[in-house]
Structure 1
Amino acid sequence: MAPVDVASLQRRTLRLLCTTQVLGGIGVTIGFAVGALLVAEIAGTAAAGLAQSAAVVGGALLAVPITRIITGHGRRPGLAVAYGVGALGGTLIVLAAATGWIPLIFLGMLLFGGGSAANLQARYAAVDLAAPARRARHLSLVVWATTVGAVAAPNFAALADRVTGGWGLPPLSGPFAFSSAAFVLAAGVLLIRLRPDPLLTARRLAAAVPDGPGEVGPEAAGARSTPAPPPGDPVTAEPVPAPSARRGAGLRAAWSVVRARPAARLGVAAVAIGHLVMVAVMAMTPVHLREFHPVEEVLPVVGLVLSLHIAGMYALAPVVGLLADRFGRRAVILGGVGTLLAACAVAGTAGHHTPRLVVGLVLLGLGWSATMVAGSTLLSESVPDAVRPSAQGLSDLLMGLAGALAGAVSGFVVQVSGYPVLTLLAAVAVAPLLALALRPVPASAPDEED
């Protein structure tokens, strides 16, 4: 195999991923900004929440076929197909708005989740060729790039609606047409420019290393900074055979490997539980604000609170990645747990004090960022190369389902017991993650975070 300048290729890959994350972030957020309003116009207010949940569930379920494509053919076609599915969903939503056919809009929202699935999977492509000491930072840069699209998109929604109104599209459907265009553009950029594929390149580099498969990064082309674990992986209670590429294609095989490795279990739990807590509290915050703000004031207040919350989620992701590389993934996960608990305490006791609630929502975003970045990185480096894409897809599936469950249950809890009880239950949900993160690592285990 010809020599590969891995460092140069990684820099190029990161630039490309950040560009497509901006496009994907615009596509996802511009649609979600008006999705509930459009569905309410067509199918009624009661259906609006269900349609938004359909998009979340769709993104989670689409992680399964997308993972199979990535495992068999690489990141490039997998991400492009995910964006393509999202574009198809946006197109169906526009058609549903024009025809008034309610089942079609639910199908469209389900497929629209493909854009979210692509944005989430893209963060793992940043790790394929990263050096061990920089994995969290590189992953966090891709997460951070979503900020640009997420912040800019709501401002495009009204413009998109005005422009497409002249084309004869129904009101509120225009933003979805723009979403589809953004997804198609992102897919095209990936198909044309993401060459060579980072995952396939990492596999070739791993195969070229004489002492067997292990972590892949720039060291794979020469000296290795971290030796491959022995066949009887000491992190597990019993030997774990390295799965073949065929076995690695299945989520069942990925689950077997993740379940046998404490570090991988912690990574998956950090991502899923952090997302569950964030969605549960965030989803009901606008409802809570409506209780003590006049109708004419509540929308600007909600917009400000959620904007600051999103900034907490994404804006400091590179700092989180730097800390994870400097102090270790487990330490940052513990920091994220503490931040999530503080967020629940501050938001739950804020009462009708909006500035205090803002502080709670910003902390909620920071806690999510810590568990997402450190958990994703820890999972990626804790499983064998062949099963890694499947394990990442499994993590995104569990994360999406956890978020959908949190969104569905949170409304019921607030209706029955109120917002403070919701934040208390969200804090209790963090307990399993805290227990996993504090669990001692066997003395014979290799450093999980190298």
Structure 2
Amino acid sequence: MSFETIQNQDKNGRLNAEIQGYVESHEKQRQLQKRTLSIVIASQIFGGAGLAAGITVGALLAQDMLGTDRYAGIPTALFTLGSAAAALLVGRLSQRKGRRIGLATGFLAGGLGAVGVVLAAIFNNLPLLFLSLLVYGGGTATNMQARYAGTDLALPTERAKAISMAMVFTTFGAVAGPNLVNVMGRFSVSIGAPALSGPFMLAAVAYIVAGVVLLLFLRPDPFMVAQAIAEKERHDRTEQPNNRITSVHKRGIVIGATVMILTQSVMVAIMTMTPVHMTHHGHGISDVGIVIGIHVAAMYLPSLITGVLVDKFGRTLMSYASGVTLLLAGLLAAFAPADSMVLLILALALLGLGWNFGLISGTATVVDATPPQVRAKTQGMVDVLIALAGASGGAMSGMVVEQTSFSTLSLIGGFLSLLLIPVVVWVRPKS
């Protein structure tokens, strides 16, 4: 036996002993849950700043480099498509190696993609831009999947609240990002780079810091501890069939996934074309930053209240609330005068709030339906579908606006969101 093999066995033995200590102690589990939330929160602050760059100036950068509005939705489609692949990879890596390795890898990949976008803008290289946007999507996917880390050791009655805690602090970075557009733009110009590459410089630093925080501090891994707890429960319940512990509730996964897919596609489609719509009607990039900043705040800041509501009133009711709120957002965006900052802000705030309702209620439904033995892998696959829905919404939004108008896009999105109600009614179990 080699010295390296002996070292690995010793390391694994110490790791298993450490995890076992948490399995045996409910108090240590609660302490680890609190510590996990604090670390995830720290990473989410930086992750939020990273994702905001693509939302705010991605479409404008494509418009500038391509010279047309027709394909302005392509950047959103690309980094959302990249996030779909990353969601699958991060989910599978988390299932095998734990949240720490999976999430850190995703954030670091997102940072590398942001660096590539900056280089593509400097050298006006479209192939590099498209490739880098795909890789940049890894940060977006990871920022979304980090919300699951907060639920691994949470009690069933506190899962939505744990999701909301992980999400709400994304607000700080996500709101700061769009409002630093001018600052980063001036900085990038001062070093000889295009102004629109500035926010992606911020994204590169933010994503890399988020990855390093998780890599260094998310120990012991909450997902590995949750798996060990589930395995112990399986052995303790010898009088019951094993599938009582490991069964997957497919109906719950279908409901949760459907809610998140519809809310994501509607939100991404309208959000993507809002900056283009605003610049066509005389608004400057600082106005765009304000509207998108408030939109992103509405996506994440209400999370603490939403989590409590989802736990108290149920996943289904809040899914209905999501559909109605998104409908109101679509109607307001469609009929608001293009020069009215107040109404545009209100429309995009409602759009973010409806997405928030749908994401937290849908996420909680998926977590409820999956045991730890398959949870991370299943969550990754669900997030793939969510990302693909967002990619479709982003890609189609520019074409719809080119052929019709921003108002038509908003109306389509608003009425599409109403499908949430009949779908949830149809799929949920009969009494």
User: Which category describes the TM-score, using the shorter chain as reference length?
Assistant: 0.7 to 0.9
The counterpart of 2:310, out of the listed 296, 305, 324, is 324
The answer on 1:108 being equivalent to 2:96 is no
Equivalent residue letter for 1:330? T
Alpha-carbon contact 1:139-1:321 (below 8 Å) kept: yes
Q: What does 1:87-236 align with in structure 2 at a 5 Å threshold?
A: 87-163=111-187, 172-209=196-233
Change (3 A) 1:334 1:31: closer
1-structure distance, mates of 2:195, 2:327: 41
The counterpart of 2:92, out of the listed 68, 71, 83, is 68
Instruction: Give the match for residue 363 of structure 2.
Output: 376
* CA-CA distance at 1:48 after TM superposition: 5.2
1-structure distance, mates of 2:343, 2:51: 29
2-structure distance, mates of 1:185, 1:356: 36
* CA-CA distance at 1:394 after TM superposition: 1.5
Equivalent residue letter for 1:115? G
Deviations 1:60-81 (A, max 9, x none): 2211111111111110000111
Instruction: Give the match for residue 247 of structure 1.
Output: none
Alpha-carbon contact 2:76-2:395 (below 8 Å) kept: no
Change (3 A) 1:160 1:394: same
Instruction: Give the match for residue 8 of structure 2.
Output: none
Instruction: Give the match for residue 252 of structure 2.
Output: 263
* CA-CA distance at 1:171 after TM superposition: 5.2
Instruction: Give the match for residue 441 of structure 1.
Output: 429
| Structure 1 spans left out of the alignment, 5+ residues | 214-227, 234-240, 244-256, 444-450
Equivalent residue letter for 1:102? L
Equivalent residue letter for 2:313? F
Q: Secondary structure at the match of 2:374?
A: helix
The counterpart of 1:333, out of the listed 298, 319, 322, is 319
Equivalent residue letter for 2:271? M
Q: Secondary structure at the match of 2:387?
A: helix
Instruction: Give the match for residue 314 of structure 1.
Output: 300
* CA-CA distance at 1:347 after TM superposition: 2.8
The counterpart of 1:394, out of the listed 360, 381, 384, is 381
Alpha-carbon contact 1:30-1:156 (below 8 Å) kept: no
Instruction: Give the match for residue 262 of structure 2.
Output: 273
Q: Secondary structure at the match of 1:130?
A: coil
Q: Secondary structure at the match of 1:403?
A: helix
Q: Secondary structure at the match of 1:363?
A: helix
Q: Secondary structure at the match of 1:385?
A: coil
1-structure distance, mates of 2:288, 2:195: 23
Alpha-carbon contact 1:63-1:397 (below 8 Å) kept: yes
Equivalent residue letter for 1:59? S
Instruction: Give the match for residue 406 of structure 2.
Output: 419
2-structure distance, mates of 1:104, 1:341: 37
* CA-CA distance at 1:379 after TM superposition: 0.5
1-structure distance, mates of 2:46, 2:338: 37
Deviations 1:291-345 (A, max 9, x none): 6x4x2x4544433333332222111111000100111111111111221222223
Equivalent residue letter for 2:33? Q
Deviations 1:383-429 (A, max 9, x none): 23222112211121111111111122222223333333323322332
* CA-CA distance at 1:165 after TM superposition: 5.8
Instruction: Give the match for residue 304 of structure 1.
Output: 290
Alpha-carbon contact 1:141-1:318 (below 8 Å) kept: yes
Equivalent residue letter for 1:22? I
TM-score, normalised to structure 2, is 0.84
* Stretch of structure 1 that moved more, 172-181 or 1-10: 172-181
Instruction: Give the match for residue 9 of structure 1.
Output: 32
2-structure distance, mates of 1:163, 1:277: 34
The answer on 1:284 being equivalent to 2:273 is yes
Identity %: 37
Q: Secondary structure at the match of 1:386?
A: coil
Equivalent residue letter for 1:72? R
2-structure distance, mates of 1:353, 1:431: 28
2-structure distance, mates of 1:138, 1:380: 11
* Stretch of structure 1 that moved more, 116-125 or 98-107: 98-107
Deviations 1:269-311 (A, max 9, x none): 11110111112222233444456x4x2x454443333333222
Alpha-carbon contact 1:271-1:399 (below 8 Å) kept: yes
1-structure distance, mates of 2:54, 2:312: 37
Instruction: Give the match for residue 350 of structure 1.
Output: 336
Alpha-carbon contact 1:206-1:212 (below 8 Å) kept: no
* CA-CA distance at 1:375 after TM superposition: 0.4
Larger RCO, structure (CA 8 Å, separation 6 or more):
2
1-structure distance, mates of 2:332, 2:58: 30
Q: Secondary structure at the match of 1:149?
A: helix
Alpha-carbon contact 2:49-2:177 (below 8 Å) kept: yes
* CA-CA distance at 1:31 after TM superposition: 5.3
TM-score, normalised to structure 1, is 0.81
1-structure distance, mates of 2:253, 2:128: 39
1-structure distance, mates of 2:419, 2:292: 27
Q: Secondary structure at the match of 1:209?
A: helix
Q: Tell me the number of residue pairs that the alignment of Structure 1 and Structure 2 aligns.
A: 403
